[in-house]
Amino acid sequence: MKKWFSIVIFICCFSFVVIHLSIVNAGKKSPEPNADYLVVLGAKLDGEQMSLSLLYRMNAAFTYLEANPNTKVIVSGGKGAGEIITEAEAMARFLEDNGIEKNRIIKEESSTSTYENLLFTKQLIGGKQKDIVIVSSDFHLFRAGIIAKRVGFEPQFLAAPTPEIVKIKLWLREYAVVVKSLLLDW
């Protein structure tokens, strides 16, 4: 009995390290310039106000879009509890307020999860393979990449930093969600 317990503990610790390193590495990748589409994954709003996580994602997206004027952007996120507007609408407003032309912005306003963000984005883009860059928080990109591949994308990544105030909580939560996704989300 003790031997089995030790084996289970070892497997859990080993998987934690492997998944943690995968999450860290996904957040360190830099995208190539001039992607066809930048896909910004939504995050919580408070009414119409972006959370710090979403603001960091938008700052990263804006910097890329400013340097790559031919890249279109898909802002992806529906309306959750406590949100007055969709996450996509808040992101589009941010970009327009900062000088990104409205004709470069495509809103996907129906999604309520990362899977839906990417599935509905795939439907907007169409069947032909496009060069896309996914923008999300650094801790989230590994799982977003797994899901993107499941819906048919071969994405690049642009990481936004995780706000320090929620870093430990979100990184630990992400480990559990990655395990769940690897085991159950097929």
Phi, psi of 4, deg, nearest 5: -65, -40
Rounded to the nearest angstrom, the gap between the alpha carbon of residue 130 and the centroid of all alpha carbons in its chain is 17
pTM for this one? 0.88
Rounded to the nearest angstrom, the gap between the alpha carbon of residue 36 and the centroid of all alpha carbons in its chain is 17
Q: Which two tokens stand for residue 113?
A: 């999860």
End-to-end CA distance of the chain: 33
pLDDT at 165: 79
99-139 pLDDT tens trace: 999 999 999 999 999 999 999 999 999 867 789 999 999 98
CB-based contacts of 183, cutoff 8 Å, min separation 6: none
CATH number for 2-184 (one of 3.40.50.620, 3.40.50.10800, 3.90.1150.10, 3.40.50.2300): it is 3.40.50.620
Q: Which two tokens stand for residue 110?
A: 């129906």
Q: How far apart are CA 113 and CA 110, in angstroms?
A: 10
28-67 pLDDT tens trace: 888 999 999 999 999 999 999 999 999 999 999 999 999 9
Q: How far apart are CA 73 and CA 36, in angstroms?
A: 8
Name the 3-class secondary structure at 47: strand
Report the candidate in 81, 153, 84, 82 with the shortest Cα–Cα distance to residue 117: 153
Is the pLDDT at 186 greater than 60, yes or no? no
At 1, the pLDDT band (50, 70, 90 cuts) reads low
